[in-house]
Amino acid sequence: MLPIMHQTRLDDDELRALYHALLRPRIIEERMLLLLRQGGVSKWFSGIGQEAVSVGTVWALQPQDYVLPMHRNLGVFTTRGVEPARLYRQLLGRVGGFTHGRDRSFHFGSLDDKIVGMISHLGAMLPVACGLGLAARLDERDGVAVAFVGDGATSEGDVHEALNLAAVWKLPVIFLVENNQYGLSTPVSEQYACRALADRAIGYGMPGHEVDGNDVLAVHAAVSAAAERARAGDGPTLVECITFRMRGHEEASGTAYVPDALLAEWADRDPIQRFETELRDRGLLTPTESEDLRRALAEEVRERVDEAVAAPDPVSTQAVELAAVYAAGSSVPDLAVGPTQVRRYVDAIADALRQQMERDPKTLLMGQDIAEYGGVFKVTAGLVDRFGRERVRNTPIIESAALGAAMGLALAGYRPMVEMQFADFITCGFNQIVNNLAKTHYRWGAALPVVIRAPHGGGMGAGPYHSQSVEAWFTHVAGLKVVAPATPTDAKGLLLAAFEDPNPVLFLEHKGLYRTAKEEVPDAIYTVPLGQARTARSGRDVSVITYGVGVVWALDAADVLADEGFEVEVIDLRTLVPWDKEAVLASVRRTSRALVLHEAPQTGGFGGELAATIGQSAFEWLDAPVDRLGALDTPVPFSKALEAIHSPRAQVVDRLRTLLRY
């Protein structure tokens, strides 16, 4: 057992208040466990025996500090003073909770209380803490972010990426490991081989401290010291709190896999009993006072829980639920006037980034090699000289932590952009995009204005891992917007609109267009609204619905068929989520024929959604079956000769001829 080691700076009144705070979550849990047995709550993750970690940590923090708790950290919410009525309704899934019944227990945030709740993917919130810490430093606020993580989740990649990022950037973040000896049923002896998780800290370049997690004053002292270090600008700290989970991972799991002797041993180390003993030794608490407080708290909790139990279940409609997916507010057309100049696609994107950073000091850029090097495609070249390294930030070779940090920055009022070096590498950050960024607004209402730029697409002989068209992986994800511009003018206007949007936006830039597409582009700031298609070419015989490089292919095919007397209409979607159904259906009604075209493999491609909608909603106007054309269902090959076989580009004219002859 670790010795009690603390230097108490708390006076007698503060110690009594701390005892009150330590006891409150225990009383609430006892009530919730009773409700669980009665069927009043469906699931419960108990933190009984671990209260000292949550309460001691929050007691050591200041109101401006962010906390990112986990399953068993009820004491974080109670000690932070989260509104009790709303908290109980959240825990019971009733009307008036933080998530309106859309997520459970502690899977929520309350920015007013500086709490950012967890998702089920363990370790995912540690990168978010990095973003919150960075925001505090950029704002020159005396703020710290504390991220909780269990012993089992320390094996997750997000944890390693976050600790490394925080150390490299010297961020004011405390990583608090709640080592409760088991990851569900797997003991720590089977989870890591180091003596202590705190020993890992030296590998990241930060201090690591092993603390008795059942001693609330030891936790308070360790977190206080780490916070003081962070506020001084000395960077992050890893604090490992050694404690024990006295109940199952969740109640249904039980504890049959835990030796009885071990449970008995840790029951003797109960944090509340230990603190009571210390207070009695100091003459600050009598047994009668302790019992009176327990009874008073139990009655208060019973009344509040009964009120929450009596509250109705959430009631909603499809329209209400759909409206909750995205934060309200997006760009409106902001047409530029004044001079233009010929710009390439890459130049138009760079121009948009520069103008966005000039007009909004809360915009910052992150990515691999984007500063002095300018990114592998030189899109960000020169921006670090103009705006400095605080706003144009090279990251380590990480994707997930950069995206998670962007979420933290957005929660703190910034508009971050993350550049994926290649869209193919976005898989390394998939969880942060689809489960953290995309779902947060629907779950608890936080807006997340994050732009993710991703160079994608083939045609350059770059092989399977630098050529993929990744849009279909993400168009299935509610809460994420997906943009794929085909022209320099749209690339600039859509990117500026993406920065104005209060939701995460995946901005797909086709590598093959960077230096081949060029046209007159306005010098001034303007926006092209997300969700509005454009008619790239008018026609009366057949519609091609496409986006990105497919627009170039469709226009080339239209030129060929024009010599044969056919008029091909080309609809450029520009935005895939949301996509402009009205514009597409109006075109098909005019021409009575439709080809859906994209560069990605055909099976499971976004074209299937387009074709199905056209077939259902424009059936009576069709003179031929809806056709769709995508790439061969193979990875993208390296050889340009083989890639030509893979690509649908050479087939567009013949497919249109077949459709016109039907």
Catalytically active residues are: 466
Instruction: Please give the Cα distance from 148 to 69 (Å, whole number).
Output: 5
Angle separating helix axes 216-231 and 271-281, nearest 10 degrees: 90
Amino acid at 655: R
Helix, strand, coil shares, percent, the chain, to 5:
45, 15, 40
Q: Give yes or no for a contact between 247 and 255, defined as CB atoms under 8 angstroms apart.
A: yes
Amino acid at 185: S
What is the rounded end-to-end Cα distance, in angstroms, of the chain?
81
Q: Give yes or no for a contact between 166 and 130, defined as CB atoms under 8 angstroms apart.
A: yes
The number of residues in the chain equals: 662
Q: Residue 182's Cα: distance from chain center in Å?
A: 27
Sequence-ordered list of residues with C-beta below 8 angstroms from that of 48, at least 6 positions apart, any chain: 26, 29, 30, 246, 247
Instruction: Please give the Cα distance from 243 to 263 (Å, whole number).
Output: 12
Q: Give yes or no for a contact between 553 and 652, defined as CB atoms under 8 angstroms apart.
A: yes
Instruction: Please give the Cα distance from 239 to 437 (Å, whole number).
Output: 27
Q: Give yes or no for a contact between 230 and 237, defined as CB atoms under 8 angstroms apart.
A: yes
Question: Is the bond into 578 cis (omega within 30 degrees of 0)?
Answer: yes
Q: What does the radius of gyration of the chain's CA atoms come to, in whole angstroms? A: 28
β strands within 196-291, DSSP E: 208-212, 237-242
The total of other beta-carbon atoms located within 10 Å of residue 220's CB is 26
> Hey, what are 34's tokens?
């009773």
> Hey, what are 47's tokens?
């933190």
> Hey, what are 112's tokens?
């007013």
Q: Give yes or no for a contact between 576 and 475, defined as CB atoms under 8 angstroms apart.
A: yes
Q: Residue 35's Cα: distance from chain center in Å?
A: 33
Instruction: Please give the Cα distance from 301 to 638 (Å, whole number).
Output: 65
Amino acid at 198: A
Instruction: Give the residue from 472, 583, 580 showing the smallest Cα distance to 538.
Output: 583
Sequence-ordered list of residues with C-beta below 8 angstroms from that of 73, at least 6 positions apart, any chain: 47, 53, 54, 106, 148, 178
Instruction: Please give the Cα distance from 525 to 355 (Å, whole number).
Output: 7
- In our burial notation (b when 16+ CB lie closer than 10 A, e otherwise), range 147-165 reads bbbbbbbbebebbbbbbbb
